[in-house]
Amino acid sequence: MEKTAFVTGASSGIGRATAVALAAAGFRLVVAGRRRERLEELAQAVAPTHVHILTFDVRDRAAVEAAVAELPTEFKHIDVLINNAGNAHGLAPIQEGDVADWDAMLDGNVKGLLYVSRAVLPHMGEGGFIVNLGSIAGHEAYANGNVYCASKAAVSMLTRTMRIDLLPKGIRVAEVAPGMVETEFSEVRFKGDAEKAANVYKGVQPLRAEDVADLIQFMVTRPPHVQLAEVIIFPAAQAAAATVRRQS
């Protein structure tokens, strides 16, 4: 029987790459994001995979619940949930932080993950698998990372507690915590400043979204008795959150 994977933040970056990788592995897809035109392009790119598109912001609990409640019959059973949607806004010391940025990160990275998980879990039975996208920032603090680091530390701890809570239901829960990945991440963090975003990866060969997607595909296709519970993935040029080898 064809399995169904539900991917949030699927309109770009790691989410999009993961949807493509899971389609290649034989999953049908529920793809969610805020930019419908990008999700439609994704659906065309993975054809003939069966795809159902949901358009919502994970921060909007009512929208999340309504969208999941209205899934068509053929997509109602979810085998894999990829909680990928999230964001980073700003890079400032705590005393200079923008409160709106703090709200966006906590609402998206933490509450959004909770809203989606709560909505999807009634549609997931034994053998289900949830992958939460964390970050090395959730395992190591770095200067000016404050609220983003805190939000991703929450993802890490939520993953561990979800794994305990869902054990009796036979649902596996894992975290993938990437280091430097070249996506739209830095452009969002720096409010569209392309030069600042490019400098993040200057002199480094970062991970690609597809590298993380390959890992996720591997994790969710292991035999039912195997669980890769927590994986940190770096580019070879990175040793820790703020320890990077740059070459000219």
229-241 burial by CB neighbour count: b if 16+ within 10 A, else e?
ebbbbbbebbeeb
Q: Residue 38 is inside which H or E element, if any?
A: helix 36-45
Helix and strand numbers (H, E) in the chain are 9, 9
Residues 6+ apart with CB under 8 A from 70: none
Q: Helix, strand or coil for residue 248?
A: coil
Q: Report the amino acid identity of residue 97.
A: G
- Please say whether the beta carbons of 85 and 155 come within 8 A: no
- Out of 115, 142, 148, 201, the active site residue is 148
CB-based burial of residue 248 (10 Å sphere; 0-12 exposed, 13-18 middle, 19+ buried)?
Answer: exposed
- Please say whether the beta carbons of 58 and 64 come within 8 A: yes
Residues 6+ apart with CB under 8 A from 26: 2, 3
- Please say whether the beta carbons of 182 and 201 come within 8 A: yes
Query: Is 148 one of the catalytic residues?
Result: yes
- Please say whether the beta carbons of 94 and 141 come within 8 A: no
Closest C-alpha to 158, from 146, 177, 173? 173
Catalytic residues: 148
